[in-house]
Amino acid sequence: MFEPVLKLSRTVVSWLNDTGAPRTPFQSRINEVPLSVRTAGLVWQQEPAAIPMLDCVWRVGAETVILSLSRPLVEEFITTVQNGLAFPSEPTASLILELALEPLVTRLEETTRLNVQLVRVCEATMLAPHLELDIIFGAVKGKGRLFLFTPLDGLVPPAFRALGELLAQLPRQLGGLPPELPLIVAGEVGTLRLPAALLRSACVGDALLPDIAPFGRGQITLAVGQLCAEADLDGDELILRGPFRPRPCPLESAHMTQPGSQLELTKDLDDVEIVLVFECGRWPFSLGELRSAGEGHIFELGWPIDGPVDIVANGQRIGRGDIVRIGEELGIRLRGGFACNE
């Protein structure tokens, strides 16, 4: 049986998901110098830092917490207390750094009701899963690594639980997608629901009459994912009749049946209705264009819609056909039989 290397308890998973979520930066000031700290996600790969780091070992209540900071950040913190001198050795370094961070330490103690003390500062050697931090202090930009507790398959220690509660006070920052992200939009000229038995017996030259055929009214339906919009067809341009909205779901009814023989089961499968979608093309549009598209928006296709259509079932093309007139209606004449991945 496969045994994963990493084991997490449900309590820890909940804490990690909440703590590692993108949030607005924490803003403060140290000796009138602005400080910004932003969570940059959880890092599980245990790799050495690309820049010089210092491990700051803290005692928070009864627990040990290791916070790695970029060396330039630590040096800049220390200059707020001792400017112009060489970087001190231990135990002076930890004493001066804790004094420089005293406003934050006091605030943390008041909020968590835990005693907070910097034990030592040393060259970074810790390699373990951590919460990545982006830190800006004055003109200095750097990184922070808040190393996670062990083990991860139990409870969240009080110090980390208190830290999570502090981070939860910062508003969540919703991730944005670039407006130039390409999306594929399908042009639908009609749809048809028919039993699988009829689908199996269809052959070259058969004509299908769609249940819904906006193309007969000089329109097509633009679809992307679960969203769709109606558009008027004007040569090689589409003029949107309204914004993209969730596609309406047709009402269906189900009948309770008793278990039967294999023959009855096969007959039931033959009666299963399959929705065929007749597509006249697919085009890439940017996310930004689709977001801003409303009534009257014009999409330039580059070519008129007068060629064969693709017949799609459950997202797969199973055949091709031509648009033909059947009496007063428009239908689709099959160019061949149906086959998956046609």
Q: What secondary structure, in 3-state letters, does the chain show?
A: CCCCCCCCCHHHHHHHHHHCCCECCEEEEECCEEEEEEEEEEECCCCCCCCCEEEEEEEECCEEEEEEEEHHHHHHHHHCCCCCCCCCCCCHHHHHHHHHCHHHHHHHHHHHCCCEEEEEEEECCCCCCEEEEEEEECCEEEEEEEECCCCCCCCCCHHHHHHHHHHCCCCECCCCCCCCCEEEEEEEEEEEEEEHHHHHHCCCCCEECCCECHHHHCEEEEEECCEEEEEEEECCEEEECCCCEECCCCCCCCCCCCCCCHHHHHHHHHCCEEEEEEEEEEEEEEHHHHHHCCCCCEEECCCCCCCCEEEEECCEEEEEEEEEEECCEEEEEECCCCCCCC
Domain check: are 42 and 93 in the same one? yes
Domain check: are 76 and 192 in the same one? no
CATH number of the domain bearing residue 133: 3.40.1550
Which pLDDT score is estimated for 268? 65
Residues in a beta bridge with 245 = 228
For the ranges 32-36, 170-174, 300-304, the maximum mean pLDDT occurs at 32-36
Higher pLDDT, 270 or 329: 329
Let me know if residue 100 belongs to a domain: yes
Let me know if residue 342 belongs to a domain: no
What does the pLDDT look like over 245-301, one tens digit per residue?
A: 888 765 444 454 555 544 454 556 777 888 889 888 888 888 888 888 888 888 877
Domain check: are 143 and 191 in the same one? no
Dihedral angle computed from the Cα positions of residues 260, 265, 268 and 273, in that order, rounded to the nearest 10 degrees: 140
- Checking if the pLDDT of 223 tops 50, the result is yes
Domain check: are 270 and 308 in the same one? yes
Let me know if residue 5 belongs to a domain: no
Averaged pLDDT, 146-172: 89
* pLDDT range class, residue 4, cuts 50, 70, 90: low
Give the total number of structural domains in the chain: 2
Domain check: are 158 and 186 in the same one? no
Domain check: are 156 and 194 in the same one? no
Among candidate residues 108, 139, 167, the one where a domain is terminated: 167
Let me know if residue 252 belongs to a domain: no
Let me know if residue 341 belongs to a domain: no
What does the pLDDT look like over 74-87, one tens digit per residue?
A: 999 999 988 877 78
Domain check: are 142 and 188 in the same one? no
Which pLDDT score is estimated for 259? 54
Which pLDDT score is estimated for 152? 87
Domain check: are 131 and 195 in the same one? no
Domain check: are 321 and 243 in the same one? yes
Domain check: are 59 and 135 in the same one? yes
- Checking if the pLDDT of 37 tops 90, the result is yes
Let me know if residue 204 belongs to a domain: yes
User: What are the φ and ψ backbone dihedral angles of 122, each rounded to 5 degrees?
Assistant: -150, 170
Q: Mean pLDDT, the chain, as a whole number?
A: 84
Let me know if residue 255 belongs to a domain: no
What gap in Å lies between CA 8 and CA 49, rounded to an integer?
25
The closest of 134, 287, 158, 153 to 224, measured between CA atoms, is 287
Which pLDDT score is estimated for 3? 54
Domain check: are 162 and 54 in the same one? yes
Which residue reads 């428009």 in tokens?
330
Let me know if residue 67 belongs to a domain: yes
Among candidate residues 122, 139, 167, the one where a domain is terminated: 167
Dihedral angle computed from the Cα positions of residues 281, 284, 289 and 290, in that order, rounded to the nearest 10 degrees: 60
Domain check: are 291 and 224 in the same one? yes
Domain residue limits at 321 = 182-247+265-334
Which pLDDT score is estimated for 100? 92
Residues in a beta bridge with 16 = none
What does the pLDDT look like over 110-123, one tens digit per residue?
A: 888 889 999 999 99
Among candidate residues 100, 135, 167, the one where a domain is terminated: 167
